[in-house]
A and B are shown apart, each in its own frame.
Chain A
Amino acid sequence: MTRTRTLALAIGLAVAASGALTGCGQPDVTKDRLERAIGPTFAGLYVHRADLLGEHGITVRSVGAVTACDRGGPKVPDVGPGPDWICMIHFTDDHGQPQDGKFEVQVRADATYIAGGPSKLIGQATLTDSHGQDVPNPVFEWDGAFDPDH
């Protein structure tokens, strides 16, 4: 009996503690952190894509990615993990044209995300590289992480 009571007490305490702490502090996943992570990541991957295609003169600076993220439309607060984040990335493509891409982003509670871009702007899932081989397109879909503290 004592054993069961101790165990019940321990579980009760754990539930109470987690309940009391629920909602404490600032959220880990915010619009600001996501935007700061996705822009430079996209630019880096776009440069990598250009390298694979044998295009020269594409740098993170020339891509100049600017990001604006929103979660689930205007009525949903832009915080927290979920599959309903949308990030608009404004960038200069490999032909020097300004582009606006709508990226679907799935953000996880562990401060990682999966972003996928429109194939019209960035190409299909696989690319034919400058050596004629089929390779994965780095900007088609990618994993990223951001700092949940800053």
Chain B
Amino acid sequence: MTAAVPAVAPAARRRPGTATVLRWEATKLAAQVRSRALLIGAVVVPIAVVLIFNTQLPPKDTIYGRHIHTSGYAVPLFVLAFAHQWVLPLLAALVAGDIFANEDQHGTWKTILTRSVSRTQIFWAKTLTAVGFNLLVLVLLAASTITTSLLVVGSQPLPGLSGQLIPAGHALPLVIASWATAVAPVLGFTALAILLSVVTRNPTIGVASPVVLGMIMQLVGSLGGLNKARRLLLTTPFETWHGLLTAHPFHAPVTTGVIVSAGWLVVCLAIAYLYLRRRDITGG
């Protein structure tokens, strides 16, 4: 037992663990004005949105828009339906599309790689930081929207999507579950932003192109010619919560959505990882 200790200790001292790299990435992210503003925005903006919509005529062309004055549970669903069109892909990309490419922008790849850490460690630390941050933003956004809606509009029964009225006690878990279905596609968009950020080495492209791709997928998906292939789009999992709110709930789209999002996540991260591993870092 004691003989093994000296053999391990120098190696551990030479190469810091991924946890150390992760801590540094989190510290770097926390020091950015952009990420702090995002966290504050995720809490404050929904409050403003709910208060403004409370004085407007109901926006009937978005699902649940017509009920925003009659049930506080309808408001977070309306906000979710609106947000997944481009707000959630944008929120997912703001940090993830920048976290790799900003090292190119500042020419700091060589600086971080000389700290005796491997590219694999850097890759996972940055990926986990982006994923954790995006989950935090989504949770804050959902919590702020749901709380404000219930306080401002009230906890009336929620009209379902099959003509039934969902009692207030059952409505809250359903609203939270609906927001939870956004986790999978948000992580998919996070991975897409990471891939584009690694490949293009440009933070602007890393942030903007997932949003544009999301809008294109939304447009292609709304045409209806795709039929079952529509399920392979990364935007379709954002719509699966509709099935939770019918009289006979159907969960198959939610499951498919999670599998499709996981597929996008794995493929995007695998390509990004290989690209970063093989990349020739000489400049900077």
Contact = CB atoms under 8 A, between A and B. Distances in A.
- Asked if A and B bind, the verdict is yes
Contacts, number: 110
B70 A7 contact: no
Question: Quick one: which of B64, B230, B247, B253 has the most chain A CB within 10 A?
Answer: B230
Interface residues of A, number: 43
B119 interface: no
Interface in A11-27: 18, 21-27
B163 A41 contact: yes
B159 interface: yes
B163 A7 contact: no
Interface string B25-66: 000000000000000000000000000000000001001101
Contact of A42 (B64, B163, B232): B163
B243 interface: yes
A138 to B, nearest CB: 7
Nearest to A110: B239
Interface string B142-164: 00000000000000000101111
Contacts of A45: 163
A138 B159 CA distance: 9
A18 B229 contact: yes
B224 A82 contact: yes
Contacts of A150: 250
Contact of B163 (A3, A40, A146): A40
Contact of B253 (A48, A82, A108, A149): A149
A109 B221 CA distance: 7
B226 interface: yes
B163 A44 contact: yes
Interface in B201-243: 201, 220-230, 232, 236, 239, 242-243
Contact of A145 (B66, B226, B227, B242): B242
A79 B229 CA distance: 16
Nearest to A20: B229
B246 interface: yes
A21 B232 contact: yes
Contacts of A37: 162
Interface of B: 60, 63-64, 66, 70, 159, 161-165, 199-201, 220-230, 232, 236, 239, 242-243, 245-248, 250, 252-253
27 contacts: A3-B200, A21-B226, A22-B226, A22-B227, A24-B228, A24-B229, A26-B227, A28-B224, A29-B224, A42-B163, A43-B163, A44-B163, A45-B163, A48-B163, A81-B222, A81-B224, A110-B221, A111-B242, A112-B242, A138-B159, A142-B163, A144-B161, A145-B161, A145-B243, A145-B245, A146-B246, A149-B253
Given A22-B227, A41-B162, A142-B66, 12 more contacts: A18-B220, A23-B227, A23-B229, A25-B227, A44-B163, A108-B222, A109-B224, A110-B236, A114-B60, A145-B242, A147-B243, A147-B248
Leading 9 A-B pairs by shortest Cβ distance: A44-B163, A25-B228, A21-B229, A41-B163, A145-B161, A145-B242, A81-B224, A147-B250, A110-B239
